[in-house]
Structure 1
Amino acid sequence: MPELREERQEVGTCVELFAGGGGLAMAVHAAGFRPLLVNEYAKRACESLRINPPDASEPEKRWPLVPGDVRDIDFTDLVSDEVDVLAGGPPCQPFSLGGAHKGMEDERNMFPEMFRAIRELRPKAVICENVRGLLRPSFRPYFDYILNEMRLPFVERGKDSTWEDHNELLEKLIANDSVDPSQRYVVKEMEVNAADYGVPQIRNRVIIVAFRADLGVDWTEFMPKETHSEEAMIHSMREGGSYWTRHEVDPEVRKRVIANLPQLNYESEKVKEKLKLEPWRTLRDAIAGIDENEGNPLPPVSEDAVKNKLVVDGIPDHIGWPGARLYTGHTANLLDRPAKTVKAGVHGVPGGESVMQLDDVEFANFGGETGYRYMTVRETARVMTFPDRWILDGPRGEKMRQLGNAVPVKLGMAFSKAVASALKSVGALEAPERQK
């Protein structure tokens, strides 16, 4: 994306937890925050962070990676500088529709470690991303407790106290407004679809942003607004629309896409407002190249490349893979829609989420279904708005797992830049020349 190519101006510092394949870490860094510590547990994801520099213009620099279990980290011992932003997405499997749904009882629930990091680092702001499953009725009470813990992270839960008892105490303290502002945070959660922020993927998530109360930040002035809409995408795909000037496709394919477009009520005030935004990006857009990759289309994957698992034109991770087939409940990605949510999958690559329907209905898939193929890792990385320079470590399944667990870089940047602007508005960020 253009923001990653612009000259980066350092504005503050950050600590990144649960970094995974590096999506949110890249976003926060690109927004100007210098990483003081980056933590990740998975070995393959750690290796991805090791081999990729934060900034392509400084290839000799590396992330300040502290690998291993976050529960073993003493933040006060490792981080001596003031921390402006603490960012991270605690493992989502406990709350994901694709997980075991154990929630707060799941040992993978790492929100308590996020709160411990807040206590030890006292960051000015926190950015936290997680799955929309936290908002399900069965988890909503615990999600409200998570928000309350983030508001009062220094009020620790006793070893013999249940989370319900602790939440009752937190609610009383919040109602009384009796805790010193330097010991509490103002918290706001937002339900977002990454497609609404220019990511070529339907990805519904919850973003939690918190500011230390003593800073007096008014987040409502800086919350990122949606920049793209489905309505604008539909309009751009009408006959003669701008979408078809960007993509030369077979007339029969174009005709089929247009025939399946839903109708728009152009008299609706809501539709009129949505049409002022940019069109949703599609999978075809991502493959053709958008943002940082604009003008750099990925070459087609041939039947031979699929059959023999060949690297296409020497492009890292652009490798054919045979055997794509659809599964019950999993339809393929359509080229002229945003991709479906990229998922990590319990066993690596899942079913229909990684399969794409091709324009060529005769395309032989070798062990799979004609007219379909698996997306390459590089295509999937583009759907996650990772730059092409970013190389993922491990076999295909592990690379797809890293991408499925990541935050789309473009979505992370929207919130990271907004947090930087909010902190600047109250003078909470030092001048860049003082941060050398």
Structure 2
Amino acid sequence: MSGLKPAKPIIRKSVELFAGAGGLGIGLADAGFIPQMVVEYDRWCCDTLRDNHPVSDEAEQVAEHPWNVVEGDVRLVDFREYEGKLDLISGGPPCQPFSLGGRHRAYDDARDMFPQAVRAVRETRPRAFIFENVKGLTRASFLPYFEYIKLQMEHPEMVARDGEPWEDHLRRLEQHHTSTKRPDLHYQVVTKLLNSANYGVPQRRERVLFVGFRDDIDARWSFGSGEHTQEALVWDQAFGDYWDRHQIAKKARILEGRALQISKRLSKDEKPATLPWRTTRDAIGDLPDPEKRVTANSIADHKFQPNARTYPGHTGSYLDEPSKTLKAGVHGVPGGENMLRRADGSVRYFTVREGARIQTFPDGYKFHGAWSECMRQLGNAVPAELARVVGESVALRLDEAEAA
């Protein structure tokens, strides 16, 4: 071999808004987008971020890519120092206004932070942005506001006037959008509803993505439906080595419901070309039972949480399917989605470490706060693996546009 050193990966600069516990930021950093500033309001989340992304380590050595965590109200943050210096702005504006489990106040809800996301884009003029929100945003009753959000992102310099109702602002945006004269800052925006399970996350978590590229970037971006499918998982369970890999007794190898129906139309000789969905067992099967405290206590954040129970419509997640969506809840953590349902019908809460595995956080990641607080952070997070896949696709298009 010659003495040539391998090329360093391209480092792209970003700013992360509404960072939460850091799931989106972790995945995007793995894709090469290094945050120059991370903004978060919640103090527990900020403690989690600082602990996992310190400016210096225990030996007081400066970290290679420290996260500059800004704790406070995003409405008070001035982003203009980053104008023209960023490849990406990312974040998950608080989703409670649109959550299927919330009160659905949308544009009447002061927690709607999309206008602040648009302001950050306007002040920094990044080459691209990635924003994420809950599936509830696509509800029929929210569609006019969904279009309003998208048009604001496409034309971030067309700001609402003082006291202007959002419907009037929407009309002005529509007129501007259909005009042939648009000299101001403009982004090409694609929206997509994703199921995280299709991208290698052991969780059925549906989220809406807003991905935008500045008008001078010839990105030609689109995003596929994912390499993982339920059909491939069922084939692996019906004809493959799924059960053997997990050392499951034959009497416990059960397919039920939709999985059973899918298995009836599959052939052993025709293995799907896709990868299997990852299951809850794939994610946490190697962790000791948290109720056996002697073996579980040695693992950080793997403490048994008592008093799990089912109630109508909330029965926990099965081991041999992707988990249900981990949720934060408006009035506390809803246990029905954040617990495991065993084969015998009994249930227990996921530990924080199990929740982190399901959300594809690194095993060494530390969470601050009591169980309910940590699960709230996880329930609000973007799966790190989904963020990485999306981030790599955006980075690829930026690279190609730059090389053209």
Task: Give the counterpart letter for 2:336 in structure 1.
Answer: G
Match of 1:387 in 2: 362
Match of 1:32 in 2: 32
Match of 1:87 in 2: 90
Match of 2:303 in 1: 319
Deviation at 1:212, TM superposition (A): 0.4
Deviation at 1:88, TM superposition (A): 0.4
Task: Give the counterpart letter for 2:370 in structure 1.
Answer: P
Does the aligned pair in 2 maintain the 1:157–1:166 contact within 8 Å?
yes
CA distance in 2, matches of 1:336, 1:34: 35
Q: TM-score, normalised by structure 2?
A: 0.91
Does the aligned pair in 2 maintain the 1:126–1:211 contact within 8 Å?
yes
Q: 1:201 to 1:414 in 2, by over 3 A?
A: same
CA distance in 1, matches of 2:37, 2:110: 24
Q: 1:259 to 1:347 in 2, by over 3 A?
A: closer
Does the aligned pair in 2 maintain the 1:118–1:153 contact within 8 Å?
yes
Task: Give the counterpart letter for 2:113 in structure 1.
Answer: M
**How many residues of Structure 1 are paired with residues of Structure 2 in the alignment?**
392
Match of 1:205 in 2: 207
Match of 2:282 in 1: 285
More moved, 154-163 vs 333-342:
154-163
Deviation at 1:35, TM superposition (A): 1.2
Q: 1:322 to 1:67 in 2, by over 3 A?
A: same
Counterpart mapping for 1:320-339 below 5 A: 320-339=304-323
Counterpart mapping for 1:317-396 below 5 A: 317-359=301-343, 361=344, 371-396=346-371
1:300 and 2:289 correspond: yes
Does the aligned pair in 2 maintain the 1:194–1:203 contact within 8 Å?
yes
Task: Give the counterpart letter for 2:246 in structure 1.
Answer: H
CA distance in 2, matches of 1:175, 1:260: 47
CA distance in 2, matches of 1:264, 1:54: 48
Q: 1:198 to 1:391 in 2, by over 3 A?
A: same
**Structure 2 stretches lacking a partner, 5+ long:** 1-6
Deviation at 1:258, TM superposition (A): 9.9
Task: Give the counterpart letter for 1:124 in structure 2.
Answer: R
Q: 1:204 to 1:260 in 2, by over 3 A?
A: closer
Q: TM-score, normalised by structure 1?
A: 0.84
CA distance in 1, matches of 2:382, 2:56: 20
Q: 1:26 to 1:159 in 2, by over 3 A?
A: same
Deviation at 1:175, TM superposition (A): 1.0
Deviation at 1:216, TM superposition (A): 2.1
1:275 and 2:275 correspond: no
Match of 1:432 in 2: none
Deviation at 1:374, TM superposition (A): 1.1
What secondary structure does 2:318 align onto?
coil
1:397 and 2:372 correspond: yes
Does the aligned pair in 1 maintain the 2:236–2:276 contact within 8 Å?
yes
Deviation at 1:80, TM superposition (A): 6.2
Q: 1:326 to 1:267 in 2, by over 3 A?
A: closer
Task: Give the counterpart letter for 1:76 in structure 2.
Answer: R
CA RMSD of aligned residues (A): 2.6
Deviation at 1:266, TM superposition (A): 4.7
Deviation at 1:335, TM superposition (A): 0.3
What secondary structure does 1:10 align onto?
coil
Match of 1:3 in 2: none
Instruction: Please list the CA deviations of residues 125-181 of structure 1 after superposition, one character each: whole Å capped at 9, or x if unmatched.
Output: 01000001111011010000100111100011101321111111111111113112x
Q: 1:56 to 1:343 in 2, by over 3 A?
A: farther
Match of 1:179 in 2: 182
CA distance in 2, matches of 1:102, 1:258: 35
Deviation at 1:300, TM superposition (A): 2.1
CA distance in 2, matches of 1:147, 1:259: 35
CA distance in 2, matches of 1:55, 1:389: 17
1:72 and 2:76 correspond: yes
**Structure 1 stretches lacking a partner, 5+ long:** 1-6, 289-296, 362-369, 430-436
Does the aligned pair in 1 maintain the 2:202–2:322 contact within 8 Å?
yes
**Identical-residue share of aligned pairs (%):** 44
CA distance in 2, matches of 1:98, 1:346: 8
